[in-house]
Structure 1
Amino acid sequence: MPYIPIYGRGVTMSFVDNRRNFRVSLVVPIQGKARIASVNHTEIKMDKYFPISILDFSASGMKINALLDLPVGKDIILESVFDFGDKNRVLQGVLVWKEESYQQRIYGTKFINLSEKEERQLVYDLNKYQLSKTKLERTKCSYSESPAAKMIYAIPYPAVLLTAEKKIIAANDLSAKLGASPGAKCYQVYWNESKACSFCMLGEAHRYNGIISNTVYIKNKKYIMHWLCLGKKIFLHYWRRV
C-alpha cells in the first residue's frame, strides 16, 4: 500500500479514504442556500439562491433536501453556503444521485475544488461535532426517564431541558410544536436567533438556588421567562406570553 505525506507523516491511502468518507448524521438539519454555479462546464453567472437542508455530510460530499427539481448527470455544479463549526462554508459539488418521495427531493453531492487545508479543517470540525453529538446522546439518555424530563410535561407552557451550552435535551409537546428537538439551540428554535439571547439568564440560574425569572419584550410582545438549575449543568427553561 503506497504512503502519502499528510500532516507531516506517512499514512496509508485507505486511512485517507476513511477520513474523507467519515460521515456524520446531523442531530438537526443545517439550513443553508445553494445556487447553480455551472451546467455542462458552462459557468452560470447568477446569484439566485434556493434554500437547502443539509441532512448529513462528510469531507467528500453531503446529502441535502431541496424543493427544486434538478437533473442528475448533467454536470451540474452546485455552490452551497451554510454555517458549520462556527464558520461560514462555501462549497462546490456535483450532483451524483437523487431520491424523490412524499414531495421531497434528496440529493447526494460530491465536493470538488476542495483544498487539502479546507478538507483538513472540515474533518476536524466533523470529528468535533461527532464528539459533541455523542456527549449529547449520553446526556439525553441519562435524563430521558428522569423526574426532570417527566416534569416538563406537567408545565402548561413551552418547556425544555437545556445543557449549559443551551442545547435542548428534552422538550414537552408545546415546545415540540414550535420546532424544539434534542440537539437544537433554544434561541434558534424559539426566536430564530444565531446567538444566545441578550436577556438569557442561564448563567445567573447556575449561581442562584431557585427559579429565576425575567420579563422581556420581543417584537412588542410581553413574555415572562423562567430558568432553574437542576444540577450537573442541566437547566429547566420555560416561558409564557402575557
Structure 2
Amino acid sequence: MSSDNPRFATPSALEGAAVDAAILTRHSMRAYLPRPVERPVIEDLLRVASFAPSGTNTQPWQVHVLTGAAKARLSDRITAAYLDPAQNAAHQEEYAYYPEQWKSPYIDRRRKVGWDLYGLLDIAKTDKARMQQQHGRNYEFFDAPVGLIFSIDRVMQQGSWLDYGMFLQNIMVAARARGLHTCPQAAFTQFHRLIADELQFAPEQMLVCGMALGYADPQAIENSLVTERVPVAEFTRFYE
C-alpha cells in the first residue's frame, strides 16, 4: 500500500486545528438568518457525513430535507397541534429520549441549561406562556432555512441508533466547516405521527429526530448561550 495514501497520513497542524475548531464551535443555535443554503452545499455536507462508521457498514440513516413551502407546511401542522391542548395531549413520543426517573448530576445539568437559556431571553420561571412560545419555536426549526428530519428502519436495534448519533455529529461538524450552524431537536419526536403523514413515511420508517440547519444570527441573544462541559478528569479513568 502506498505510503502517501491519505487514510494513513498524519494531518498537518493546520488540518488538526480546523477539525478541533469545527467541534469546539458547534453549539445548538436557536435563531437563524434568512440566508438560504444552496442544495449542492446540503448534498455535499450529507455526503461527507455519510462516512460515519456503522456496524458492518449498515448505514441506517434516512434523511428528509425540507425547505421553502414544504418546511412551512410541516411547521404549520405541528405548531397547530402543539398549541391546541387536546391535540397536544393526543401526541406522545414513540421512544423515550430522556430517563423516566432523573437523578443527579443529569437533572442538575438539564435544569441549568434551561434556566440559563430562559435567563438570556428574560423569561421568568413563572411565565409559562413564554416558555411554551419558546419551546414552540422548535417546530419552526428556529426559522432556519433548512429543516432536516431523520428516520430509521424499525428493524434496526440499539447499535444502529449509536451509529446514527455518529452520523448526526458528522453533519453538525461538517456544517461548521462550511460556516453553517445546527440545532439537533428531539422535540419533534412527540409529533412523529404528523411527520410520518406529512412526509409519507413507509410503515417501517421510524422518526429519530429533527435538526435546524442554516446561518446562525450572531445578534440573537439566545445564540450567546454556551453550555458548560465537565472536565476530562471527572468522567474518565485511566488504567495502566
TM-score when normalising by structure 1: 0.22
For the pair shown, which has the larger CA radius of gyration, 1 or 2? 1
- Structure number with the higher helix fraction is 2
Higher strand proportion? 1
Choose between structure 1 and 2 for higher RCO, CA contacts under 8 A separated by at least 6 residues: 2
